[in-house]
């Protein structure tokens, strides 16, 4: 399984790097997770420069793509050349977005008729795109999921793990990263957000 975490200049470190860490907790021979960027290096919203682990082509061929938020997302969706390279297919890929990453899915037409979760800053912009915004941290319909709030990153990561490696693998990953003394409650809350969508999909 190949998983891409898409980050642009001005990216939010919490969205992208928390997901990167959690997803890499899965130890399977065919499990590959890469930070994917449109340029060899990108600078985060707090000035941290990171190197891309793979080019955009990796995301187009990946089994799952997570799009984090960032300060430049509104400019990203206005860049027709860049957006043309994001040729994703929800029929064969899991597609998740966090906070302003929902603007990317909306621009690609992947949220048509689908409500989304996002952060409070991005909410009016997502609504301007004609998308209904839910007052909750996570939602998913089929192969498309969105999350709102930086600390909702574990929910997106857990959803991807549950869909690609099973609910037990997601539970194990969440337990490993959960705060000491709160592990059971954290895992229960995280799985509670994703369990229904995963169950509906896997039992269909």
Is the confidence at residue 204, as pLDDT, over 90? no
What's the pTM value of the predicted model, to 2 decimals? 0.94
98 in Cβ contact with 155 (< 8 Å): no
pLDDT value, residue 198: 74
By percentage, how much of the chain surpasses pLDDT 90? 92
**Maximum distance among all Cα pairs of the chain, rounded to whole angstroms:** 48
Q: What is the DSSP string of the chain?
A: -EEEEE--TTB-HHHHHHHHHHHTT---TT-EEEEE-SSSEEEBTTS-EEE-SB-HHHHHH-SEEEE--BTTHHHHTT-HHHHHT----TTTSEEEEETTHHHHHHHTTTTTT--B---TTTHHHHHHTTPPBPSSSEEEETTEEEE-SGGGHHHHHHHHHHHHH-HHHHHHHHHHHSPTT-HHHHHHHHHHHHHHHHHHHHH-
12 in Cβ contact with 69 (< 8 Å): yes
Sign of the CA dihedral running 60, 147, 167, 25:
positive
Is the confidence at residue 201, as pLDDT, over 70? no
Report residue 203's pLDDT band, with 50, 70 and 90 as the boundaries. very low
Give the residue-averaged pLDDT of 138-164: 96
Give the residue-averaged pLDDT of 31-47: 97
pLDDT value, residue 105: 96
Buried b / exposed e across 98-133, counting CB within 10 Å, b at 16+?
bbbbbbbbbbbebbeebebbbbeebbebbeebebeb
Report residue 113's pLDDT band, with 50, 70 and 90 as the boundaries. confident
* pLDDT (tens digit per residue) in 153-163: 999 999 999 99
């Amino acid at each position: 399984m190949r998983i891409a975490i898409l980050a642009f200049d001005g990216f939010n470190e919490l969205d992208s790097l928390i997901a990167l860490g959690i997803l890499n907790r899965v130890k399977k021979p065919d499990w590959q997770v890469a930070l994917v960027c449109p340029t060899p290096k990108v600078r985060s919203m707090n000035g941290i420069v990171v190197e891309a682990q793979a080019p955009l082509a990796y995301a187009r061929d990946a089994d799952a793509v997570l799009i984090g938020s960032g300060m430049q997302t509104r400019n990203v969706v206005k860049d027709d050349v860049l957006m043309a390279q994001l040729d994703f297919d929800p029929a064969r890929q899991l597609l998740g977005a966090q906070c302003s990453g929902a603007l990317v899915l909306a621009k690609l037409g992947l949220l048509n008729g689908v409500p989304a979760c996002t952060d409070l800053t991005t909410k009016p912009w997502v609504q301007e795109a004609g998308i209904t915004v839910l007052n909750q941290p996570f939602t998913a319909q089929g192969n498309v999921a969105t999350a709102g709030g930086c600390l909702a990153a574990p929910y997106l990561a857990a959803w991807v793990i549950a869909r690609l490696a099973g609910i037990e693998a997601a539970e194990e990953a969440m337990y490993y990263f959960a705060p000491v003394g709160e592990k059971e409650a954290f895992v229960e809350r995280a799985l509670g957000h994703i369990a229904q969508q995963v169950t509906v999909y896997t039992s269909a």
